[in-house]
């Protein structure tokens, strides 16, 4: 019985220490980690050497192949059922792209096309089209 009492007396403070009820989340978030990373996974942004997120991905150019499924002159769009676009990690899908009037006039619904486009925060815009 003495061993059980001794073990309980030693284990109790350890168990209480492990169950610290204090909220130290704020302290943890302020603790620096390796390579300047903070405990919450965020990187400090005060050194000025790191580009802002999205600056490289703000506008991307890619090419794809597909079939014209709709042309909307009022909206200024061409809808294309296109294959996967690995360069920007897009799966195959049907979607609308902005296109200038000349590009809209160069194609018809049902045309198989190759096209280049830009994509970014401003939308998706076809920059050139070639009928296949």
What tokens appear for 11 in the block?
Answer: 């284990």
DSSP letter at 43 equals P
pLDDT, average across residues 2-19: 64
What tokens appear for 101 in the block?
Answer: 């009037």
- What domains are defined for the chain? 2-36 (no CATH), 59-131 (2.40.50.320)
The SS3 of residue 46 is: coil
CB-based contact 50:43 (threshold 8 Å): yes
pLDDT, average across residues 80-106: 97
Q: Which segments of the chain are extended strands (E)?
A: 59-72, 77-82, 93-98, 112-120, 123-131
**pLDDT tens profile 35-68:** 544 455 544 444 444 333 344 457 999 999 999 9
> pLDDT value at position 58?
79
């Amino acid at each position: 019985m003495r061993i059980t009492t001794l073990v309980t007396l030693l284990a109790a403070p350890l168990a209480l220490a492990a169950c610290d009820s204090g909220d130290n989340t704020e302290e943890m978030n302020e603790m620096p980690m390796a390579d300047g990373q903070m405990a919450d996974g965020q990187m400090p942004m005060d050194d000025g050497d790191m580009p802002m997120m999205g600056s490289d991905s703000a506008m991307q150019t890619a090419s794809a192949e597909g079939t014209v499924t709709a042309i909307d002159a009022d909206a200024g769009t061409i809808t294309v059922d296109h294959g996967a676009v690995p360069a920007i990690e897009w799966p195959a899908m049907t979607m609308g792209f902005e296109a200038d009037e000349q590009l809209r006039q160069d194609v018809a619904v049902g045309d198989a096309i190759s096209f280049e486009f830009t994509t970014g925060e401003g939308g998706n815009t076809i920059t050139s089209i070639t009928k296949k």
